Amino acid sequence: QKEVEQNSGPLSVPEGAIASLNCTYSDRGSQSFFWYRQYSGKSPELIMFIYSNGDKEDGRFTAQLNKASQYVSLLIRDSQPSDSATYLCAGTGTYKYIFGTGTRLKVLA
Amino acid sequence: DAGVTQSPTHLIKTRGQQVTLRCSPKSGHDTVSWYQQALGQGPQFIFQYYEEEERQRGNFPDRFSGHQFPNYSSELNVNALLLGDSALYLCASSFWGLAGGLNTGELFFGEGSRLTVL
Please report the pLDDT score of residue B100 as a whole number. Answer: 46
Contacts 24+ apart (CB under 8 A), A64-73: A65/A33, A67/A28, A70/A24, A70/A25, A70/A26, A70/A28, A71/A22, A71/A23, A71/A24, A71/A25, A72/A22, A72/A23, A72/A24, A72/A25, A72/A33, A72/A35, A73/A20, A73/A21, A73/A22, A73/A23
pLDDT (tens digit per residue) in B57-110 = 999 999 999 999 999 999 999 999 999 999 999 999 988 765 444 455 678 999
Which residues of chain A are at the B interface, by a Cβ-Cβ cutoff of 8 Å? 4, 6, 8, 31-32, 34, 36, 42-46, 49, 51, 88, 90, 92-102
Mean pLDDT of all residues in B27-55: 93
Residue A96: is its pLDDT beyond 90?
Answer: no
User: Across the interface, do B103 and A93 touch by the CB < 8 Å criterion?
Assistant: yes
Mean pLDDT of chain A: 93
Residue A47: is its pLDDT beyond 90?
Answer: yes
